[in-house]
Amino acid sequence: MAASLTLRAISLVVAVCSSTAEAMVVEKSLIRPTMSPMVAIASTAAIVPVWIAATRPVMSSVAFAQPQPHLCQT
């Protein structure tokens, strides 16, 4: 949403320069397909830290159970 509003404001300012305006049209057409996936990804942002916090102890216990390689082998 904010990106769209920003692009709209910028396009009004640079409309007098046709090459820049044309470039913006191309860029906007390239950016538009990414908007829906970005919205879907952003909707998970609040639950990701909760999931990480819940899985970290389990992952850590598995990691600690593995034999640790020696950093300096002779």
* % pLDDT > 90, the chain: 1
At 5-56, the pLDDT tens digits run 777 777 777 666 667 777 778 888 888 888 888 888 888 888 988 988 888 8
Total-model pTM: 0.35
Q: How far is CA 21 from the centre of its chain?
A: 26
Q: Using an 8 Å Cβ cutoff, are 21 and 15 in contact?
A: yes
* Domain ranges, residue 46: 2-62
Q: Is residue 44 part of a domain?
A: yes
**The total number of structural domains that make up the chain:** 1
Q: Is residue 69 part of a domain?
A: no
Q: Is residue 74 part of a domain?
A: no
Q: Is residue 71 part of a domain?
A: no
Helix axes 2-14, 18-42, angle to 10 degrees: 180
Q: Is residue 36 part of a domain?
A: yes
